[in-house]
Structure 1
Amino acid sequence: MAIEHTFGLRARIARRPLLYRFLSSPLTVIASIIGGMMVLAAVFAPLVAPHDPFDVASLDLLNSLLPPSWYVGGDPAFLLGTDDQGRDLFSALLYGTRTSLMVGGISVGAAVLLGLFFGLLAGYFGGFTDAVVMRVVDIQMTFPAIMVALLIDGVSRGILPADQHDQLAIFVIIFALSLSIWPQVARTVRASTMVQRQRDYVLAAQVIGIRAPLILIRHVLPNVLGPVLVIATINLGVAILGEATLSFLGVGIPASEPSLGTLIRVGNGFLFSGERWLVVFPGVTLALLVLSVNLVGDWLRDVLDPKLR
């Protein structure tokens, strides 16, 4: 009976190609489990974290720079040790991962919407519209993403009042990251749209008088979402790394709002004084998060790209 049940389960899985290919890739399964656990822990950080790193009243400088709990001198109440302010590093990591995921997710979401809009317009209408959109994309892609983000941050600091820099820093970095990602989405959507507009169902819709916006939304858009999903997944890791880089350079998320980048920046100052856990744990967390996202993105590309099947 057990053998029959096993064969029956395999047969049911085999009838679902996507699930079968997912379970056939152990590396992708492991990456999905690790990434999913990190995302869930970050989303439910207020419930999972043993301490609140934002509660200044609960901080005690006597608990500052405590090593991890398994080290000599460690405190079981602080699993991964504490920083120079006495904050629990494990709790700060949960909230920092939450901030990094939020910044990366919103940035990629905004970039996808912007890239879809201009990519569909350029690919469907062509001509002058295509030329204008693609020249803007070409110009945008000549500048490195970090340079664009630094430029936007510098301009915002010159325009905004000094007392609003920290309050609006997260919106500035989201805008900067979105602006650096959307050209890739636009180019991919444009290429897919140019293929789809020659299909019979699009030509038939044009013949019967359906307006262009309805054709784009009902017929073209669903058929270009596959490559966009792959780009969005891979660029989520890029956006998280971009946020960490900018925060490490001191132009991203302020120190009062812990993110993985700010935690690494703070820990870097103690790297040669013996408190290596302050930079090791945030660095490992960032590496695991980005690696998990990239592995899932690579698997999606292999599954959704017909050339790789």
Structure 2
Amino acid sequence: MTPEQRPNLFLRAYDSDAGYKFRRSPLTVLAGLILVLMIGAAMLAPWIAPFDPFDKASIDLFNALIPPAWQSGGDPAFLLGTDDQGRDLFSTILYGTRTSVFVGAISVALAVCAGVTFGLIAGYFGGLVDAVIMRIVDIQMTFPAIMVALLIDGVTRSFMTRDQHSEMAIVVIIIAMALSIWPQVARTVRASTMVEKSREYVLAAQVIGRGSGAILARHILPNVMGPVLVIATINLGVAILGEATLSFLGLGIPAGEPSLGTLIRIGNDFIFSGERWMLIYPGLTLALLVLSVNLLGDWLRDVLDPKLR
């Protein structure tokens, strides 16, 4: 078969078992479409948002607390209304979603890198190395993300100015979420590695003189990535929700830099004064985003787990 006759990657994915199961699940298809639309809109926020919430020159306090366009007193220029600073709520939700997705994706990526690395080492070499790494994992799993964030936040406040601490807020959340996720990845990869290292293809690689690094990277790693993809997808929703929780508690993104957590925190202050749109729409956005990610994670688990086939 010539290269021109080979089906492209999209067609192969479409005709695969995973593609078939995806098409046969309307709920998963809907979740995928919602997730693609939300992340796409968030990534294109600078081009599709009517206003720039970071541009202080364009913010007018006289536009504060305008209700959505379809309500009495609404302004068609502000589709979902404005917040207490006069920022367009639709624009801040787009930028806030981008921040939340960025924090979640980076924290999960760091957690996967650390978890896969230490899980492979612990599962392959065993012995004292395995014992040390797993004890560190056990200790780390006893600390929730909020406690880790509080610890890191307190340390950074002790030797940074307020402006420097505000600039480090995203880094604090990313580190806190990554530290809370990587032990799960490490334990899963360790268990899979202990199974894979006794298989014939690994023994054959050892016989022909392959080094441990090459065996781990080229042979074992591709065969343990299935469960890691499931954990990473589900924990993406956990990380996004964790960022929102920390920002809601005042430990995350500053109020001047929109994220879904800070928008919900600001809206919560006005819920009893009648401006409920400031809480409802960021809350619905967060709920749809996390629900879509979790549904895709469940689908991946069903596809990649051989016990469920």
TM-score, normalization by structure 2: 0.94
> Residues 60-94 of structure 1: CA distance to partner in whole angstroms, max 9, x if unpaired?
11111000000010000000000011100000000
Q: Which segments of structure 1 move beyond 6 Å, counting only runs of 4 or more? A: none
Is 1:99 the equivalent of 2:99? yes
Structural mapping, 1:104-123, within 5 Å:
104-123=104-123
Residue of structure 1 equivalent to 2:278: 278
Aligned positions, number: 298
- The CA deviation at 1:275 is 0.1
Residue of structure 1 equivalent to 2:255: 255
Structural mapping, 1:230-269, within 5 Å:
230-269=230-269
* Equivalent AA in structure 2 for residue 30 of structure 1: L
SS for the counterpart of 1:272 is helix
Counterparts of 1:39 and 1:273, CA distance in 2: 32
Q: Aligned Cα RMSD in Å?
A: 1.2
Residue of structure 2 equivalent to 1:75: 75
Residue of structure 2 equivalent to 1:198: 198
Uncovered stretches (5+) of structure 1, i.e. residues with no partner: 1-11
Counterparts of 2:159 and 2:104, CA distance in 1: 25
- The CA deviation at 1:17 is 1.3
Residue of structure 1 equivalent to 2:171: 171
Counterparts of 1:169 and 1:16, CA distance in 2: 43
> Residues 263-294 of structure 1: CA distance to partner in whole angstroms, max 9, x if unpaired?
00011100000000000000000000000000
- The CA deviation at 1:23 is 0.6
Relative to 1, partners in 2 of residues 1:79 and 1:223: Cα closer, same or farther, differing over 3 Å? same
> Residues 84-122 of structure 1: CA distance to partner in whole angstroms, max 9, x if unpaired?
111000000000000000000000000000001100000
SS for the counterpart of 1:236 is helix
- The CA deviation at 1:16 is 2.5
- The CA deviation at 1:255 is 1.0
Counterparts of 2:123 and 2:67, CA distance in 1: 57
> Residues 217-265 of structure 1: CA distance to partner in whole angstroms, max 9, x if unpaired?
0000000111100000000000000000000000101112100000000
Counterparts of 2:212 and 2:161, CA distance in 1: 44
- The CA deviation at 1:13 is 9.4
Counterparts of 1:154 and 1:299, CA distance in 2: 39
Residue of structure 2 equivalent to 1:152: 152
Counterparts of 1:139 and 1:41, CA distance in 2: 39
Counterparts of 2:52 and 2:22, CA distance in 1: 37
- The CA deviation at 1:155 is 1.9
* Equivalent AA in structure 1 for residue 138 of structure 2: D
* Equivalent AA in structure 1 for residue 244 of structure 2: A
> Residues 134-177 of structure 1: CA distance to partner in whole angstroms, max 9, x if unpaired?
00000111122222222222222223333311011111111111
Residue of structure 2 equivalent to 1:58: 58
Counterparts of 1:305 and 1:13, CA distance in 2: 18
Residue of structure 2 equivalent to 1:210: 210
- The CA deviation at 1:205 is 0.6
Residue of structure 2 equivalent to 1:292: 292
* Equivalent AA in structure 2 for residue 160 of structure 1: M
Residue of structure 2 equivalent to 1:302: 302
Uncovered stretches (5+) of structure 2, i.e. residues with no partner: 1-11
Residue of structure 1 equivalent to 2:25: 25
Counterparts of 2:18 and 2:128, CA distance in 1: 40
* Equivalent AA in structure 2 for residue 301 of structure 1: R
Relative to 1, partners in 2 of residues 1:235 and 1:66: Cα closer, same or farther, differing over 3 Å? same
